[in-house]
Structures are given as structure tokens and as C-alpha cells.
Structure 1
């Protein structure tokens, strides 16, 4: 038995309580809501975007959702669950991505069933999305998680137990999160990005509960365009690139993301400005120009509205 498996197979305090009681989920540990929506706040500190948690064994988990993206990974044994209306049994080395809008219920695991749950804030994937090829299952999943105002449930099931690169990346992430060091946060982001690339390469091994569509392509390209051209981006230029009427494109973006093109562009510019304030000593007026604004008063107003302080006040926090 490898060292990590030996550590993971030990009983947690929660599992000991379950074995000593009537084998019911300790719901208060997972949610403060009446509906069974597992909350990231129960496990993630405010400064963290991702963590791993061993799935609690010996008890059936009733139908529930999460307010985060979850990845189930079978380190040992199996995991049987009902996802939406589909019965899925994950085997050792397999992955299941669940967005925050899908319900699932899980059969009780035995002692030898070691399941690792990645608990991830959807925003963690924003920086990854812009680097992904447009037409793939992973970017479709991320869009449905980040910008899905219709709350459609979506999962991706990857049968990748034989792909050594994927298994190694996941194990490295588990170790970094369970035994953090100075560079763990940076390492985890790197590993997660590499994992997404590997999953795209092995898309043929994925089961998906949503179909690809032209609209998906249009939305991914729109987000990539904003990310790469935020300084001078315009809806008209984007519409020309995508060969879409600008008024139709505007409606599609709004429908898919619940934000207008202008709002998405503003979010990107403000995020970039904050990044420049954090990483450079550029004068405020230069930062304003760098992110595409020529009206400094307007920039001050929207920056303060988003971050509850002026750029000058934000700089003083450093």
C-alpha cells in the first residue's frame, strides 16, 4: 500500500461518528441552507479557490447540489452515484466534473473506496478558459459553470484511468493541497492548467451530457476576444470577425452570460487594472490608459463601485 493511500484510508472524525450512530449524513457540516446545497464556505477559506477533501464513506449522500465546481476522482475502489437522471459508476483513476447546477446522489462507500473531491470556485477557471481551444468539451463545461444564468446541470465523465500523465498530475495536486508549501498555490494552478490540456487531448474518453453548438463557439470566441483585445475591443469588430450581425451577437452574449458585451469588457479592464496596480508601480493615469480608458474620472467611478475604494486608496493598501 502506497504512503498516500495508507494516509487516506484512515478513518476521519466524521466517519467515526457515522459508524457510531445511525449512519446519516451530518448535514450541518455541509450546508446552512434548508435545501441540501453543499457550500464551499464550509471547507474553503476566503483566500483559497481550490482544495481537496476525502469523500466521507459509510453513508448514502441524498440528492444535493453544490455552490462550486466539484471534481470526483477515484483514488481507490469505485464510486456509484446518480447524476441528474444517469447512473454512473466511477472506477479507479476516473474523473467526474460536476457544475454547480446539477444534482447528484451517492451510494455509501466502503472502507476501500477512496474518493477525492476537488472543491473549486468557478472563478478559478477564468484564467484557464482564455487559453483553451474553442471547440472542446472542457471549455463548454467551464462556460456552463461560469456564465450559465439558466442554471442547466452539466457533467463530464472522463474514463482516463490508463492515461499516466493525467494520473500523475492529479496525484501531484492532491499532495500539494494536503501538504502545502510556499509555492503550492502556483503549482496547483499550473497542474490544473496542464490537466485541462490533457483532458482535451483525451476528449474521446469523455461522456458528456450536453451537445456542442454554434452558440458555444460564438461565446468562447467572444470571451477570448475580450481577454486578448480588452484595450481596444468593440462589439462591431467582434461581430465582423464572427460574421454575425452586431445586434444578434449582443443578444447571444447577454443570453449566454447574463452580461452585456460592455459589462464583460468593463470587468476585464477593471481586473487588468487591479492586476497592474498589484504588480507594477505605473502611475494611475498610465494604468487607466493601458486598460483602454481615456476618461480618468469615469474610471475612478467604476473602479470604486466595484472595489469599494478609489485606485489611490487601493494603492495605499500595498
Structure 2
């Protein structure tokens, strides 16, 4: 069956052989518990072994709690792997070396991340970083699609979309790479047909195995990220932001990035309707940095960009970065980078 846009829904919702096995296993266990031991005893062990099926009642030794990139991508060309999560598969807690992007295509699913339960709905895109304990459970007709991405590929396709001095990129880095309880990011895209269509295109391209498919997948994944950031930058949830009401950390960081030159803690807090102390605490909990550290990093990032990409005099770079005192700018810059702005500019040109 050739998979095209017009028959993708039929393909993705059809039950595959392994799903039928798991569905029967689930029904036998939950509707006929009195005869379940006999059912288990009747299963074909060779069939289960050959298809690498997971039957907890048999204690499958093949299912290991940690998956590394080398083994996962052993027979997979490229750096991206897409698959449907088989419905009715017994819940299996595990970690892995790579990034997983869990996309809910239809229905609702239950997932546990570092032991924290989440109910994801159609349109939710959940990014699970490496070395994060998680499990997924689907015991109905809901559809979830997994995008497995090598760590290096995720970095190159996702983070290069964000400017190095963008506070949002620093927030993503904090959430996705800092070892804190319950790491995850969820884009709530709802019924956005653009995101759904892009997900379908990714899957179809992966299945096609056509010439230059690896390059196509990398480019399409970057476009997928770009859509999420363009249309749903303020629809992001993570453990650090889910209790902040209407003022998400991403909207706060975007505001600071746009007003870094002169905004004060009090002004920013007032803009979002918080007291200054509460706003300060919220930012620290959500990003791991203080208000002043965030503003400093944005300013220095802008200065670095100007030094590398323009011929503006140092005094103008200082003003562009929002520093009123050139001496303070020079001291701050040297403390952060171990060299003066002039030395930084010279070093950048020598690398060209």
C-alpha cells in the first residue's frame, strides 16, 4: 500500500499485527482474569520472541530500561525515526539517549514522566529529553506518533532556529538539559491543521525511503519546529510553567527580549500583573536565573552579535546593548567572556 496524503488516516488508524496481539492480551487480562493464566500458558513463545513482543506475565528479558542511539539507529538511515506507538502495548518505563517527540494525532493518552502523570490530547506535541524516565499507555483507539531524533540532530534543527541571545532559547536549554524532576515541554497546538499536516508529511516522507530522504527529513523537521514556534510559542507547558496562570514563562521571556534595554523588574512585574517579589521568584523558578541575569545575558548577546556582524564603534555597541555607562559595559563584558569587546571582535575576524 503506497502511503499518500489522501490515505494516511486509513493507514495510521488501521490495526497492525502486533497491535492485534496486544489488544487480545489486554482484553484477556482485564475481562477474563480467571482464565488469564491459561491464556498466557497457551501463547506461542517462539512467535513472541521472533516479533520481540512485550508480555510482562512472561518476564521478557529482551525489554531493557535504557535505549542508546547506536542500537536504536543501527539499521535506520539518517538521524530521525518515526513510528506509531502500538495501541494496547503494556506500559513500559524506560529512558533513552536520544530525544523523543511524542505527537498525539487522535484521541487522548496517558503518560508518566519521571513518575508525574500527564493526560495529553490530540494536537499536543511533547518533547522528552534524553535520560528522562517515562512511559506511555494507550488502551483505546487513540493514536500517538513518535519522532525519535538523535541528540545532535535535535540541537542542529531546533536550537539554530532561535537566536543565541534569545531568552526563549535559554529557557529551552534550561528545561531540556537541566536534570530536574519531570523534564518535558508540551506545545498545545489544539486543532491546528498546519501542524497536523506537517506531521503527516514527515511520516509519509519517512515511509517513502526516496532519494535524499535524509536531507528532506532534516529540513521538514526544522519546518515543523518553525511552525510550533511561530504559531504556538505561547502555548507551551512544562513543569516549570504550568502553575503560572495566563502569564507563561515564554511570554515573559519574549517581553524581556523585546524591552531589554531599559525595562526594570518593577515595570515587567506590573506588565504581567504581579508584585515585584513574586515576579522575581517566578522567573527564578522557571528559568534557573534571576531577572538581572536574564537581562544581562540578553544585553551581552546583542553586543556579541553587533561586534561580529557590524562595524559599529564600541560606544555604539554599548548603547545598542542598553548600557548607559561604557566602563560598566566593558567590565561586564570582560567578566563574562574573558576579553574586551575589541578583543572579541578581533578574535572573531581572525577565525574567518
Q: SS at the partner of 1:62?
A: coil
Answering whether residue 107 of structure 2 is matched by residue 44 of structure 1, we say no
Residue in structure 2 matched with residue 175 of structure 1 by the alignment = 204
Using a 3 Å threshold, how does the CA distance of structure 1 residues 219 and 72 change in structure 2: closer, same or farther? farther
Equivalent pair of 2:8/2:200 in contact (CA under 8 Å): no
Residues 151-176 of structure 1, C-alpha deviations (whole Å, 9 max, x = no match): 34521111102222222211111111
Q: SS at the partner of 2:93?
A: strand
Residue in structure 2 matched with residue 296 of structure 1 by the alignment = none
Q: SS at the partner of 1:109?
A: coil
Q: TM-score, normalised by structure 2?
A: 0.55
Which of residues 88, 97, 102 is equivalent to 1:58?
A: 88
Answering whether residue 236 of structure 2 is matched by residue 206 of structure 1, we say yes
Residue in structure 2 matched with residue 88 of structure 1 by the alignment = 118
Which of residues 77, 83, 92 is equivalent to 2:107?
A: 77
Q: Distance in 1 between matches of 2:69 and 2:21?
A: 22
Q: SS at the partner of 1:130?
A: helix
Residues 284-316 of structure 1, C-alpha deviations (whole Å, 9 max, x = no match): xxxxx9955xxxxxxxxxxxxxxxxxxxxxxxx
Task: Give the CA deviation at 1:186.
Answer: 2.3
Using a 3 Å threshold, how does the CA distance of structure 1 residues 187 and 64 change in structure 2: closer, same or farther? same
Residue in structure 1 matched with residue 12 of structure 2 by the alignment = 8
Spell out the pairing of 1:90-109 with structure 2 (5 A cutoff). 90-109=120-139
Structure 2 residue runs of 5 or longer lacking an equivalent are: 26-42, 49-53, 241-285, 310-316, 323-328, 339-347
Task: Give the CA deviation at 1:15.
Answer: 3.4
Structure 1 residue runs of 5 or longer lacking an equivalent are: 231-237, 252-268, 270-288, 293-318
Answering whether residue 336 of structure 2 is matched by residue 249 of structure 1, we say yes
Equivalent pair of 1:81/1:104 in contact (CA under 8 Å): yes
Answering whether residue 158 of structure 2 is matched by residue 123 of structure 1, we say no
Equivalent pair of 1:94/1:160 in contact (CA under 8 Å): yes
Residue in structure 2 matched with residue 151 of structure 1 by the alignment = 179
Q: TM-score, normalised by structure 1?
A: 0.60
Residues 193-239 of structure 1, C-alpha deviations (whole Å, 9 max, x = no match): 222222222122111224234667849976x969x969xxxxxxx99
Q: Distance in 2 between matches of 1:79 and 1:221?
A: 43
- Please, what is the CA RMSD of the aligned residues? 4.1
Q: How many residues align?
A: 241
